[in-house]
Amino acid sequence: SEQNKNAVTADYQALDASHHLHPFTNTGALNKKGARIITHGEGVYLWDSEGQKILDGMAGLWCVNMGYGRQELVEASYEQMKKLPFYNTFFQTTHMPAAELAQEIASVTPEGLDHIFFANSGSEAVDTIIRMVRQYWAIKGKPYKNIIISRENAYHGSTVGGASLGGMSGMHKQGAPGVGGIERIRQPYWYGEAGDMSEEEFGIACAQALEEKILAVGPDNVACFIGEPIQGAGGVIVPPANYWGEIQKICQKYDILVAADEVICGFGRTGSWFGSQTFDIKPDIMSMAKGLSSGYLPISAVAVGERISSALIEHDDDFNHGFTYSGHPAAAAVALKNIQLMKEENIVDYVANDIGPYFQQKLREALADHPLTGHIEGTGLVAGIALVKDKEKKEFFPSDLDIGYICREHCFNNGLIMRAVGSRMVLSPPLVITHAEVDELCEKARLCFDLTL
Ligand code: PLP
């Protein structure tokens, strides 16, 4: 209650309410109850201004992969800022961190994705994909081949481009037209949308939807298909095992580029450097952000395969796209150190062969038999749980009840950050989480599911 808040909390909540408009938030409602003030972090834990310790089951926003309080990352930033806090990579100049980071990223991307374009956020990386694939086809003499196909319930960011591409309904509420030339097909959400189909049948049906769309708009008008290997913000939707292979074949048949949006799946989350490797996707182009710097500074990148990069390089003209802070030296230095640390600590292997399987198993032991749990899906250190009203009948909760929000609040009040996406609960803890911390996370999650009942 108000009376029990300490003075720091009360002061900062009032300050925040007076001037801060929050993203993705009903700010009016938030101002009435007061935002929780996060003060510091260490490892997988955060602390708030009331002194409560919180296990961060979301790694910030799917990004603090190497955990909080990593002095190596802090120092990389500090040292670079002392030397050169900023210089641009436009107009004939570069700097050491950008050149080194591009090489370091290319050392972990799938084969052939060897050229790197820098931006600052996942949304900007996605915008870069939109502009770059259209530029590619224009260079090839087919400027009309510019339609980009994405999926319902996909999340590709919040810039006008990224939001236009995404398929989460809330992102299209603002009414005005977005970027043109975008088409969407169904998402491969087997548990929620497959009816009586097996996973395999459903995987084929969802891929066929792509072929139908391509034929409807004309193959020669389609530039690219884009998808997240696992849909993250849409609720952690893991596609059927055969889905991506089928998508790949269809794109090849009609000469359509494949783009993987790796903003969440990239940098170890699924037990490989990229989700594309986990699902055997062969992208022509890939966006990445978040885990690239473990969120310590904003930086994103697009890895560009040989087909597109050689066209751009040989074209002998400017690619008129970029950001002042593309390849920002301090952000690049942090990302470089972050990837080096991931390699030194074998973190991808840890996720693939140790903590990832442990997390998936413990989560199922803790929650699979819970009356609220309809289905658990996930791989590596990412998971989504469908909450249901009736498990046997597979009856979902009415959306106005906002069951996910209720569950999230119980977690929030009991020292666990878990995110709700409609009636799905999602988890994406830091990759450095220990076995004991996974146990604690699962115990807390069970308690919060009990409280939600
Ligand atoms: N693409 C995907 C798959 C994402 O999950 C996100 C953010 O969650 C974005 C793009 C946008 O990234 P940002 O919020 O850094 O602009």
Last residue of a domain, one of 321, 344, 367: 344
ipTM given for this complex: 0.99
Determine, yes or no, domain membership for 20: no
Same domain (yes/no): 334, 361: no
Last residue of a domain, one of 292, 309, 344: 344
Say how many Å lie between the CA of residue 157 and the centre of ligand 1. 5
Tell me what pLDDT residue 142 has. 98
Determine, yes or no, domain membership for 24: no
Say how many Å lie between the CA of residue 156 and the centre of ligand 1. 6
Confidence of residue 261 (pLDDT cuts 50, 70, 90): very high
Same domain (yes/no): 118, 264: yes
CA–CA distances in Å: residue 395 to residues 72, 373, 389, 405, 451:
49, 11, 5, 18, 20
Strand partners, 290: none
**Ligand 1 pocket test: which of 290, 293, 323 has the largest number of ligand atoms within 8 Å of its C-beta?**
290
Ligand 1 atom closest to the CA of 120, numbered from 1: 15
Same domain (yes/no): 151, 273: yes
Same domain (yes/no): 340, 350: no
Tell me what pLDDT residue 3 has. 62
Domain that holds residue 231: 72-344
Say how many Å lie between the CA of residue 171 and the centre of ligand 1. 13
Say how many Å lie between the CA of residue 389 and the centre of ligand 1. 30
Ligand 1 atom closest to the CA of 232, numbered from 1: 5
Helix (H, G, I), strand (E, B) or coil at 375: strand
- Residue 280's closest CA among 249, 236, 237? 249
Mean pLDDT of 151-167: 96
**Quick count: other Cβ atoms within 10 Å of Cβ 201?**
15
Mean pLDDT of 365-381: 98
Q: Where are the beta strands (DSSP E) in 356-448?
A: 373-379, 382-390, 395-396, 416-417, 419-421, 424-427
Helix (H, G, I), strand (E, B) or coil at 109: coil
Say how many Å lie between the CA of residue 167 and the centre of ligand 1. 13
Q: Where are the beta strands (DSSP E) in 205-364?
A: 222-227, 257-261, 285-288, 300-305
Ligand 1 atom closest to the CA of 233, numbered from 1: 5
- Residue 305, pLDDT above cutoff 80: yes
Same domain (yes/no): 171, 317: yes
Mean pLDDT of 153-159: 97
Question: To the nearest whole percent, how much of the chain has pLDDT over 70?
Answer: 99
Per residue, the 3-state secondary structure of 25-87, as one string, reads CCHHHHHHHCCCCEEEEEECEEEECCCCEEEECCHHHHCCCCCECCHHHHHHHHHHHHHCCCC
What residues are in contact with ligand 1 under a 6 Å CB criterion?
121-123, 126, 155-158, 162, 228, 232-233, 261, 263-264, 289
- Residue in the block written with tokens 């150190």: 337
**Ligand 1 pocket test: which of 126, 236, 382 has the largest number of ligand atoms within 8 Å of its C-beta?**
126
Mean pLDDT of 209-215: 98
pLDDT in tens, 121-142: 999 999 999 999 999 999 999 9
Tell me what pLDDT residue 400 has. 86
Say how many Å lie between the CA of residue 154 and the centre of ligand 1. 10
Tell me what pLDDT residue 4 has. 78
Q: pTM for the full model? A: 0.98
Determine, yes or no, domain membership for 8: no
Same domain (yes/no): 124, 244: yes
Confidence of residue 174 (pLDDT cuts 50, 70, 90): confident
Helix (H, G, I), strand (E, B) or coil at 416: strand
Confidence of residue 120 (pLDDT cuts 50, 70, 90): very high
Determine, yes or no, domain membership for 27: no
Ligand 1 atom closest to the CA of 265, numbered from 1: 3
Domain total for the chain? 2
184 touches 210 (CB < 8 A):
no
Mean pLDDT of 183-199: 97
One-character DSSP codes across 155-169? ---SSHHHHHH---G
- Residue 320, pLDDT above cutoff 90: yes
Tell me what pLDDT residue 5 has. 84
Determine, yes or no, domain membership for 121: yes
| CATH code assigned at 332 | 3.40.640.10
Tell me what pLDDT residue 306 has. 98
Same domain (yes/no): 62, 202: no
Give 10-19's long-range contacts (Cβ < 8 A, gap of 24+).
10/34, 12/37, 12/49, 13/37
Say how many Å lie between the CA of residue 299 and the centre of ligand 1. 12
Same domain (yes/no): 303, 237: yes
Confidence of residue 399 (pLDDT cuts 50, 70, 90): confident
Confidence of residue 38 (pLDDT cuts 50, 70, 90): very high
Same domain (yes/no): 446, 298: no
CA distance 141 to 311: 11
Ligand 1 atom closest to the CA of 158, numbered from 1: 16
CA distance 393 to 80: 58
Closest residue by Cα to atom 1, ligand 1, is: 156
pLDDT in tens, 231-251: 999 999 999 999 999 999 999
Last residue of a domain, one of 344, 366, 395: 344
Determine, yes or no, domain membership for 26: no
Lowest mean pLDDT among 3-17, 268-282, 305-319, 372-386: 3-17
CA distance 116 to 106: 7
**Quick count: other Cβ atoms within 10 Å of Cβ 303?**
29
- Residue 1, pLDDT above cutoff 60: no
CA distance 151 to 157: 13
| CATH code assigned at 400 | 3.90.1150.10
Q: Cα 190 to chain center, whole Å?
A: 20
Same domain (yes/no): 163, 108: yes
Determine, yes or no, domain membership for 25: no
Same domain (yes/no): 178, 274: yes
- Residue 429, pLDDT above cutoff 80: yes
Same domain (yes/no): 96, 236: yes
Confidence of residue 312 (pLDDT cuts 50, 70, 90): very high
Determine, yes or no, domain membership for 369: yes
Tell me what pLDDT residue 60 has. 98
Q: Cα 259 to chain center, whole Å?
A: 14
Mean pLDDT of 24-49: 96
- Residue 352, pLDDT above cutoff 70: yes
Mean pLDDT of 300-326: 97
Tell me what pLDDT residue 2 has. 58
Contact residues for 27 (Cβ-Cβ < 8 A; gap 6+): 20, 21
102 phi and psi, to 5 degrees? -60, -45
Ligand 1 atom closest to the CA of 231, numbered from 1: 3
Mean pLDDT of 361-376: 98
